[in-house]
Amino acid sequence: MDAQPDPKATQRKVIHIDCDCFFASVEMRDNPALRDVPIAIGGEADRRGVIATCNYPARAFGVRSAMATAQARKLCPALILVPGRMNVYREVSAQLMAILEEYALQLEQVSVDEAYLEIASHLNATDIAAQIRLRVKEELGITVSAGIAPNKFLAKIASDWNKPDGQWVVRPDQVDAFVRELPLNKIPGIGPAMEKKLALYKLFTCEDVRQWPLTDLVRLFGRTGATLYERARGIDHRLLNLERPRKSLSVERTFAQDLSGEEACIGQLGTLWERWLERVERSGWQPAALAPFVKVKFADFTQTTLADSHEQASVGGFERLLKLALQRENKAVRLLGIGGRLPDVDRSQMTLF
């Protein structure tokens, strides 16, 4: 008899967010002339360069990540090679994760362009994924795809189902049908070598694996066999990998056009405040128990953060902090953020830092 997913696991709502050709998307955003031509980020062929990523026009020629640049140029002679700007990619990645944190009960960042978030069971995960995708497009100028499912494995598979700039949902009652015909090479961790080994036993899909008892799979494939047994049934008990406990809740907004002057910045507080309150409500924390802080990033990418443990986490409190922060630099503003820290943080270290 097939093992059934843990009932508790089916109540989980996991969203996997995956950027669409991340590095290339940032380059196309910053240089519109690159949007409709094949481009790749990587090293030059004469230096044994390798492609880090490429856009979809380049993929149409067969160019892929981890491919040697020399091979990529043979496939696509018109390929435009961009050296890459890791400092910019890290900046955009941080902005992306800040958006995801606003919706997540728990967040696991896998890489600069990929993350899992788990949301409260009473929320509509489909709507939240759509909100995230829209905000990322409007605020960061790039696109992401989303997979929504009861666990990490299914969410990751689903995020690749409707790329680019799309999303796919696997509901608990759809899990069985979704995984039955799934090729085994879609399972994370099943690489070309293992795929060939599985093929020797005529194992190509999850349905094929279901015909085998757990003992035989473990005997032949070890730990991978045990994982295959579960994944072939849509089972994944892994929790999100949290590097550190959350000590603060914040929201921020990157503006398509820089803000000039105190009045323009203060005018954004109302929207930030409403979003922050929604996030605090989802967390179960109380605004009055949090020490407020504001974050300002200027047009030249310098930034300042200001906090005061004696100030109130209120519209008025945030406004007073923001005015003080803006006095530090007379520059246009590209990002504003507000937040609050938990009481167990050492307040003596955060007053007006």
Q: Can you tell me whether residue 256 is helix, strand or coil?
A: strand
Residue (of 149, 151, 109, 112) closest to 129 by Cα position: 149
User: Is 308 annotated in some ligand binding site?
Assistant: no
Exposed / middle / buried, residue 122 (Cβ in 10 Å: 0-12, 13-18, 19+): exposed
Q: Which of 27, 102, 108, 114 is catalytic?
A: 114
* 260-275: b (≥16 Cβ within 10 Å) or e: eeeeebbebbeebbeb
Angle (deg, nearest 10), helices 86-101 and 125-140:
140
Say how far apart CA 173 and CA 170 lie, in whole Å: 8
32 close to 141: Cβ distance less than 8 angstroms? no
| Interstrand relation of 248-259 and 106-111 (parallel, antiparallel or unpaired) | unpaired
Active site residue 274: no
Q: Which residue has the tokens 């990751």?
A: 156
User: Is 300 annotated in some ligand binding site?
Assistant: no
DSSP 327: T
Specify binding-site residues for Mg(2+): 18, 113
Residue positions annotated with a catalytic role: 114
Which residues are annotated as part of the binding site? 18, 113
